[in-house]
């Protein structure tokens, strides 16, 4: 795939299609020899994890260098696309990757079940580097960090079998802070590549322009800028520090070492007089040894202080809630004021006017949760409208960019931009919902502007995660959960929801120029794109039956989520499950004829599901029968952007 002379890290690379042993020998060599601020200190971890850390590190290093060390952007994008295609083989049954790094990574994927999405998020950031060299706002920079840095921390947690949202949230703080520290450290290097990661809005606040940075004008204004950037970055480091006390063993030391190291980079920038325009401050070997000694000392002290030991995951109430990634603040809980009350009223109005299945289901919840779901629904409906309403692509892009900015402002406590924002900010803070989910949702809306079809189900799944899985995850936080497996189940049910609506809307989507059914499946059943306008043919019926079987499997896999959410949310979740699976069952009952008229459920049926679940506790007694005689007992949660 890649000529060896093109990248320095290709040295010692075994041939394509090599054995797993040869591949892992290379990743071990790379992890212990390649330059970084800090080495891969996995020797502090259990020995059985060492190789997995080497494999993930090698993937991250190669991905970064493909995007960073190839001077021709077109060539870099070509290589990144080929890299992604080979990466996907690690998850495909019966297929094998060819690149040695991915051959090694495949062993980790199989052993630790790390999600494909995290690896793809990294590639998104490296592709972005080929197209975007300037960032207007803090929100833009932090959005980049969410893909360039945060997936690495989440992968590390997965390797150590930590999959809960709380630890991942704290990891995001640390990874974003490390990325920011590297940005301020590498200003001169990034300028050499034509990139500026300092938010342009921050330059303007200090009387600087992009031209000043390109010309490397160092003066008091730049010093003030760096002081401001460093102060905000330290706040993010502080927000992530509790993670070290919520993991065990060597990982605790690794996390503390990287956090201390990142802050030491900021110290080095300060010690250099802040002039990162002309040189790159670095850490001496002695400084690294001191940092490791302090981290090991903290570990030893923690072991001896048995009276102060805490559980592996402390209650959420003990975690600071006033610092986050969007605008460096998740947002202080919105005041119970007239503005917030009026905002929730507006969100309820939007949800009610949409006549969605969700709005009826909300009535089974306590008022605070009902209002929260209305706030989520209103925000998502408004975002969805931007991509679906008439207009040119560029204006829609600007509209989505505006919502991204409003989201970041709201999460930071500034809610003046739209009537729904005070309620949204209040909901995010009250239920500790990661803002990353909302950014991913907006990315899904952007996909609808540029992607008209999906070649494979893997590609479609990525889209479905953006527009439906994220919504299921936000709703999950409102429903309340404790089991770390719950987010995975919510994603599966969100996928089931989205696929159900895709089957229902095959014809109308085609008329809008969109084909969501995977093209590989159309080819398998001899269906052409234009056939999706109807009427129903035998080939179409076989295709839709095949897709429906796939959807039922997602419902079955995700349905156990009902027992894992808070008791006062279970009836509502089950009513949603029953509603959407009944829609799929009705499609089957009609012989998959979704062309002659739109398949739907009446409001009376939806209300009946909610009343049956809430008043009789039906969901507690009724066993799932999705694959047996009555398939109408099934479904999935989440506010699908195509719902209603």
Q: How many CB atoms lie within 10 A of CB 584?
A: 27
**DSSP-assigned letter for residue 624:** P
- The fold adopted by the segment(s) 451-644 is Farnesyl Diphosphate Synthase (1.10.600)
Count how many Cα atoms sit within 13 Å of the Cα of residue 145 in the half-sphere of its side chain.
Answer: 31
What whole-number distance in Å separates Cα of residue 198 and Cα of residue 138? 8
- Within the chain, all domains assigned CATH 1.10.600.10 are found at 1-119, 132-301+322-327, 330-446, 451-644
CB under 8 Å to 29, separation ≥6 — which residues? 12
What would the DSSP string read from start to end of 248-270?
-HHHHHHHHHHHHHHHHHHHHHH
User: Where are the alpha helices (H) located in 186-312, listed in sequence order?
Assistant: 187-192, 200-205, 210-214, 220-240, 249-271, 285-304
Give me the average pLDDT of each 10-residue run along the chain (644 residues). 58 89 90 53 66 91 86 90 94 90 95 93 92 92 92 91 89 93 93 93 95 95 95 90 79 77 88 91 56 44 37 30 32 47 90 66 80 93 84 86 88 86 93 89 88 90 88 92 88 92 93 92 95 94 95 92 90 85 92 90 68 46 39 35 32
What whole-number distance in Å separates Cα of residue 389 and Cα of residue 381? 12
| pLDDT value, residue 289 | 46
**CATH code, 330-446:** 1.10.600.10
* Nearest CA among 573, 425, 612 for reference residue 494: 573
Instruction: Give the DSSP H/E element, type plus range, for residue 376.
Output: helix 367-388
**Burial tier of 519 (Cβ tally within 10 Å: 0-12, 13-18, 19+):** middle
**DSSP-assigned letter for residue 308:** G
| pLDDT value, residue 611 | 57
| pLDDT value, residue 572 | 83
**132-301+322-327: in CATH 1.10.600.10:** yes
| pLDDT value, residue 413 | 81
Q: What are phi and psi of 40, to 5 degrees?
A: -80, 105
| pLDDT value, residue 363 | 66
What whole-number distance in Å separates Cα of residue 595 and Cα of residue 508? 9
Q: What are phi and psi of 410, to 5 degrees?
A: -65, -40
| pLDDT value, residue 300 | 39
**1-119: in CATH 1.10.600.10:** yes
What whole-number distance in Å separates Cα of residue 34 and Cα of residue 36? 7
| pLDDT value, residue 93 | 83
Structure tokens at 377: 């629904």
What whole-number distance in Å separates Cα of residue 569 and Cα of residue 482? 13
Cis peptide before 36 (omega within 30 of 0): no
Contact yes or no for 516/509 (Cβ under 8 A): yes
| pLDDT value, residue 355 | 61
Distance of CA 265 to the CA centre of its chain: 27
| pLDDT value, residue 86 | 94
Count of residues for the chain? Answer: 644
Q: What are phi and psi of 92, to 5 degrees?
A: -90, 130
**DSSP-assigned letter for residue 537:** -
């Amino acid at each position: 795939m890649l000529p060896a002379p093109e990248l320095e890290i290709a040295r010692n690379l075994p041939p394509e299609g090599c054995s797993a042993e040869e591949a892992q020998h290379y990743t071990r060599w790379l992890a212990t020899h390649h330059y970084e601020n800090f080495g891969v200190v996995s020797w502090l971890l259990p020995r059985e994890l060492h190789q997995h850390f080497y494999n993930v590190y090698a993937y991250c290093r190669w991905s970064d260098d493909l995007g960073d060390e190839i001077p021709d952007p077109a060539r870099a994008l070509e290589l990144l696309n080929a890299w992604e295609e080979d990466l996907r083989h690690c998850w495909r049954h019966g297929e094998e990757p060819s690149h040695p790094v991915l051959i090694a990574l495949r062993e980790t994927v199989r052993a630790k079940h790390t999600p494909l999405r995290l690896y793809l998020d990294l590639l998104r950031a490296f592709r972005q580097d080929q197209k975007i060299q300037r960032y207007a706002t803090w929100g833009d920079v932090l959005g980049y960090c969410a893909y360039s840095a945060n997936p690495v921390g989440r992968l590390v947690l997965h390797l150590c079998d930590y999959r809960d949202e709380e630890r991942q949230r704290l990891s995001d703080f640390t990874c974003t802070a490390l990325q920011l520290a590297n940005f301020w450290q590498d200003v001169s290097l990034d300028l050499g590549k034509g990139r500026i990661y300092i938010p342009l809005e921050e330059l303007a606040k200090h009387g600087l322009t992009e031209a000043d940075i390109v010309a490397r004008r160092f003066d008091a204004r730049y010093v003030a800028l760096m002081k401001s950037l460093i102060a905000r970055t330290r706040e993010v480091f502080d927000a992530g520090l509790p993670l070290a006390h919520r993991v065990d063993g060597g990982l605790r030391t690794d996390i503390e070492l990287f956090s201390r190291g990142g802050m030491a980079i900021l110290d080095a920038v300060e010690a250099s007089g802040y002039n990162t325009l002309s040189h790159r401050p670095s850490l001496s070997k002695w400084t690294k040894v001191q940092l490791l000694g302090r981290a090991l000392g903290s570990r030893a002290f923690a072991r001896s202080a048995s009276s102060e030991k805490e559980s592996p995951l402390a209650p959420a109430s003990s975690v600071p809630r006033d610092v986050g990634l969007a605008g460096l603040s998740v947002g202080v809980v919105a005041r119970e004021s007239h503005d917030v009350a009026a905002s929730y009223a507006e969100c309820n109005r939007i949800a009610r006017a949409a006549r969605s299945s969700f709005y009826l289901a909300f009535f089974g919840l306590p008022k605070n949760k009902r209002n929260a779901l209305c706030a989520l629904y209103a925000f998502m409906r408004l975002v969805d409208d931007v991509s679906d309403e008439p207009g040119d692509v560029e204006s829609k892009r600007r509209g989505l960019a505006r919502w991204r900015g409003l989201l970041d402002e709201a999460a930071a406590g500034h809610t003046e931009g739209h009537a729904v924002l005070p309620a949204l900010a209040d909901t995010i803070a009250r239920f500790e919902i990661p803002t990353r989910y909302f950014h991913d949702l907006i990315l899904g809306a952007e996909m609808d502007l540029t992607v008209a079809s999906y070649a494979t189900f893997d590609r479609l799944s990525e889209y479905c995660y953006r527009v439906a899985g994220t919504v299921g995850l936000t709703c999950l936080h409102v429903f309340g959960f404790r089991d770390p497996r719950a987010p995975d189940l919510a994603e599966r049910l969100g996928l089931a929801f989205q696929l159900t609506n895709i089957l229902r809307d095959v014809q109308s989507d085609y008329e809008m120029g969109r084909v969501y059914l995977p093209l590989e499946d159309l080819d398998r059943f001899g269906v052409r794109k234009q056939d999706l306008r109807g009427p129903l043919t035998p080939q179409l019926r076989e295709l839709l039956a095949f897709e429906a079987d796939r959807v039922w499997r997602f419902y079955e896999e995700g349905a156990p989520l009902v027992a894992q959410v808070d008791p006062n949310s279970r009836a509502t979740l089950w009513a949603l499950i029953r509603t959407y699976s009944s829609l799929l069952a009705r499609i089957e009952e009609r012989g998959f004829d979704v062309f002659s008229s739109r398949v739907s459920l009446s409001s009376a049926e939806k209300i009946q599901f909610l009343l049956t679940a809430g008043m009789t506790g039906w969901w507690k007694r009724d066993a799932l029968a999705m694959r047996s005689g009555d398939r109408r007992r099934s479904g999935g949660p989440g506010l699908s952007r195509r719902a209603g």
